[in-house]
Amino acid sequence: MAPIIALGLALLISCSNNSVQKNTQEAQTIQQQLPFEKIAKSDEEWRKQLSEDEYRITRQKGTERAFTGEYWDNKAPGTYICRCCDLPLFASDTKFKSGTGWPSFYQAIQAPNVGEISDNSYGMRRIEVICNRCDAHLGHVFDDGPKPTGLRYCINSASLKFLEKK
């Protein structure tokens, strides 16, 4: 029985290493294709720039309570940008009322601006959405949104700043 367990562990480790290597290669390929430079700051720099709540959400993958964020019910025309690096992320004309209590969009302003990462935390299978320039946690994307994409980008208000169209 012990050799079977050892073999299983060896296969698991091998698959995990291959998966990590593949993800690293994919991340490097994506980075080479991005139309902007990545922004990297220390935790100390992020803490100086962000409020405690903004830091918890954007840098530590937190979330805000439903129906409490600044933009969940915002109907003004404009652009939603990354709280951390000001990269344009979502346009107000792709925002819709999802009933979830978080700002929801059916598509990003430009595909390269947002990244997606598999998130299996809390016993759930979800897709995390990040800002591709500074790696800020934005929220999650689900496949229960409206046409034309069928996507619902469920985003924390604390991850965003809003530039109203005048």
**What is the end-to-end Cα distance of the chain in Å, rounded?**
71
DSSP for 86-142 reads --EEEEGGGEE--SSSS-EESS-SSGGGEEEEEE-GGG--EEEEEETTT--EEEEEE
User: Tokens 């689900």 belong to which residue?
Assistant: 142
Q: Which residues are catalytic?
A: 154
Tell me the one-letter amino acid at 118: S
User: Tokens 């709540």 belong to which residue?
Assistant: 53
